[in-house]
Amino acid sequence: MTKHVLIRIVALIILLFMAIPIGMSQLDPNRRCGTADSLAIIFYMGIFLLLWMIYLIVESVFLYRKNEIPKFRFNIIAALIIPLFILISFLFNLLD
């Protein structure tokens, strides 16, 4: 169970570290607008988090069929709650 959780958390961190540079590469260096800059990053973070959520939900269906209930529960909780907390914390950091 611990290995399952650690692999999912590492995958999430890797996806977030991929999303931020992609969002930053979409910005025009000659023109800086605070709102558009943050929205580009949030947009790409949202896309990667959505992909991660879809993967976890699909995997949870297979885990439920295998009768691995603790892993199934973790996937459901992680797919629904963790990305929400990450996006909320990112938005609060932007407001500071």
| Phi-psi region at 67: left, alpha or beta (left = phi > 0; alpha = psi -120 to 50) | left
* pLDDT tens per residue, range 56-96: 889 889 989 999 888 888 888 888 887 777 777 777 767 75
Long-range interactions of 68-77: CB distance < 8 A, separation 24+ = 70/1, 71/1, 71/4, 74/1, 74/4, 74/5, 74/8, 75/8
Where along the chain do its domains lie?
A: 2-95
pLDDT in tens, 4-49: 888 878 887 887 787 777 777 766 666 666 656 667 777 777 788 8
User: Among 93, 70, 85, 75, which residue's Cα sits nearest to residue 11?
Assistant: 75
